[in-house]
Structure 1
Amino acid sequence: MNKLLAALLLLPLFLWGQSNFEKAEKLFDEEKYTQAKPLFLSILKDYPTNLKVIEYLGDISSHSNDWDNSIVYYEKLKKLKPTEANYYYKYGGALGMKAKVGGKWVAIRLIGDMRESFEKTLQLNPKHIEARWALIEYYLQLPAFVGGSEKKAQRYSNELMKLSPVDGYLSKAHIDEYFKRYTSAEKNYKLAIQVGGSKNTYERLAQLYKEKLHQPEKASQVLKNYNEKFKS
């Protein structure tokens, strides 16, 4: 009887929290982050270990380029549920953005944790596509004297090829483009179009033509081909 009474007393609080959560989630989906944030924060006071609320707050911080707070939220998620691969991926991504905007010394301090976070993501979810992309970028952007390596970037690109051929070809084209091997990049983008055919594959090839090869007419033709192929 006492348990039933306690449950009935707590029911309005639960419903209030649920209602606020639905409102906040709707605002988030509409990209109204500044309006969603105080609702999520109010829920967090009553439910400080709610994983979804913490993740939303981390995502809102990321959308606001508030990398310090996003790091705090994602780190909390890792501690609360250390078996969830995506929490490590988001944490590593926030560290990466903090390193990018924080300057050389901040980057040097964070690069180890960043790499470990992406590697942990793959340990927990061996099929994680985005973490491999992140590691490719990591090894491309990092200077050789602190661990940068095309060979290691290619290793993750090869793994992508097995999991998702379109990502494999796109990643190889991206690596080629980074090292200014534009002919090879063009070939790989075309292969990505053949196996995937998404708008992104066409746009990446068009971007190569326009920005790197300075052939705007070819870029326009690629986009025209996409529009003609998929017009309703």
Structure 2
Amino acid sequence: MLFVLLSGIRLSAEGTQANTLLQQGRVDEARHVLQQSLSAQPGDAESHQLLCRVYYAQEIADAAIRECELSASIDPGNSNTQMWLGRAYGMKASRANPLIAFSFARKVRAAFERAVQLDPTNVQAMSDLGEYYVQAPAIVGGGLDKARDLASRMEPRFPSQAHRLRALIANESKDPATAEAEFQKAVQAGRMPEAYIDLGHFYQSRHQPEKAIEALLAGVEADHRKDATLVDAASILTTMNRSPQLAEDLLRQYLASSAKSDGAPAFKVHIQLGDLLSRHGDAAGARREYAAAASLARSYAPARKAMQGS
């Protein structure tokens, strides 16, 4: 949630403006505002963190790392900055050769652990760290025992997220029955939209489309804010080749919503919608969506590529 993303940050007027632009997916404008602010106040940690997120949204890993490292050096006690730094390192690691990825993986873990240490109530950082422990090999600090310990620490305050982490652990352990039960407990713990989406994604991965759709529809119904849950649901429907009109409607609802965020950048959603329209023969509609994406994020390579191919 936006409140969580901004906790620990006191936004200046420029920061407030830039963050609003970022949440709307207007990353070119956000970058311009932040670069102007930093030219006057180069030591502004808040602006560096927001600029990190602007680059992260566009998948420009090196620039995101640079800005988050600058922010962390200026304000080393900010949990959210450490979380975003860990995410930027993770993006770099996911695209690097094995040797470089190995060194960045250690940085990912260190940043996420530092984020949790600085703020034990930062549930997003805890969830990121838990996913790292589940997915990463022991040689770079991963491990299911670490994930289990973290889930136990999360449970008193964040039961839904703790059950989600246990579901991921069970899934990694090739125990689908326990994974399903834990995803269902995550839903029951808070009836949060994202918990339904996680359950739907699990069923999709198990090739149970009817159960997946049931969970996705429940998540959409629970999502009164019309936030990134809609995009996640549309993505899973598209992966399953089910209900294309519903997927299109969900993407359009999100783009019209006031609850857009950099969790699902609008320019990426325009491309996603364009791809869906193109797949179903609406070339003109697809071009409009690709043009909308390019107008928001000129530096985003997939937007340029989509425009050239449309």
TM value normalised by structure 1: 0.82
CA offset digits 1:63-83 (Å, max 9, x no partner): 111111111111111111112
Aligned counterpart, 1:210: 204
Structure 1 residue 139, shift from structure 2 partner: 2.0
Cα RMSD for the two superposed structures: 2.4
The yes-or-no answer on 1:32 pairing with 2:35 is no
Q: Partners in 1 of 2:82 and 2:223 — Cα distance?
A: 37
Residues 147 and 165 of structure 2 are in contact (CA less than 8 Å); yes or no, is this contact kept in structure 1?
no
- Tell me what 1:201 maps to: 195
SS in 2 for 1:126: coil
Q: Distance in 2 between matches of 1:131 and 1:228?
A: 27
Measure, in 2, the Cα distance between the counterparts of 1:98 and 1:230. 32
Q: Is the 8 A contact 1:78 1:87 kept in 2?
A: yes
Query: Structure 1 residues 221 and 58, CA, compared in 2 at 3 Å: closer, same or farther?
Result: closer
**Aligned match of 2:92:** 98
In structure 2, what is the Cα distance between the partners aligned to 1:128 and 1:200? 17
Matched, 1:59 2:41: no
Q: 1:147 to 1:224 in 2, by over 3 A?
A: closer
- Contact 2:93-2:105 within 8 A present in 1 as well: yes
* Residue 107 of structure 2 is aligned to residue 116 of structure 1: no
Distance in 1, matches of 2:30 and 2:168, equals 36
User: Does residue 86 in structure 1 map to residue 86 in structure 2?
Assistant: no
Q: What do residues 86-140 of structure 1 show as CA deviations (whole Å, max 9, x unaligned)?
A: 1111111211111111131111112222222222222211222122222222222
- Secondary structure of the 1:162 match is coil
Q: CA–CA distance in 2 between the matches of 1:157 and 1:104?
A: 29
1:152-194 per-residue CA deviation (whole Å, 9 max, x = no partner) reads: 1111122121220011111111221223211111111111111
Aligned letter for 2:209? P
Q: CA 1:21–1:136 in 2, change beyond 3 Å: closer, same or farther? A: closer
Q: Aligned-pair distance for 1:147?
A: 3.7
* Match for residue 62 of structure 2 among 57, 64, 68: 68
Partner of 1:149: 143
Structure 2 residue matching 1:156: 3-state secondary structure: helix
Structure 2 letter corresponding to 1:108: F
**Whole-Å separation in 2 of the counterparts to 1:141 and 1:32:** 32
Which structure has the larger Rg?
1
Which of 209, 213, 217 is residue 220 of structure 1 equivalent to? 213
Deviation at 1:146, TM superposition (A): 4.1
Secondary structure at the aligned position of 1:65 is classed as coil
State whether residues 74 and 87 of structure 1, in contact with CA within 8 Å, keep that contact through their aligned partners in structure 2. yes
Q: Which amino acid aligns with 1:220?
A: I
Name the residue aligned to 1:129.
123
Q: 1:52 Cα deviation (Å)?
A: 2.3
Inter-partner Cα distance in structure 1 for 2:89 and 2:168: 22
State the 1:42 CA deviation: 1.9
Listed as ranges, the gaps of 5+ residues in structure 2 are 1-11, 225-310
Name the SS of the counterpart of 2:121 in structure 1. Answer: coil
What SS does structure 2 have at the residue aligned with 1:163? coil
Q: C-alpha distance in 2, partners of 1:136/1:148? A: 9
Task: Give the TM-score of the pair, scaled to structure 2.
Answer: 0.62
Question: If each structure's helix is expressed as a fraction of its own residues, which one has the higher value?
Answer: 1
Superposed CA offset, 1:1-50 (max 9, x none): xxxxxxxxxxxxxxxx95x6665444323211022212321221111112
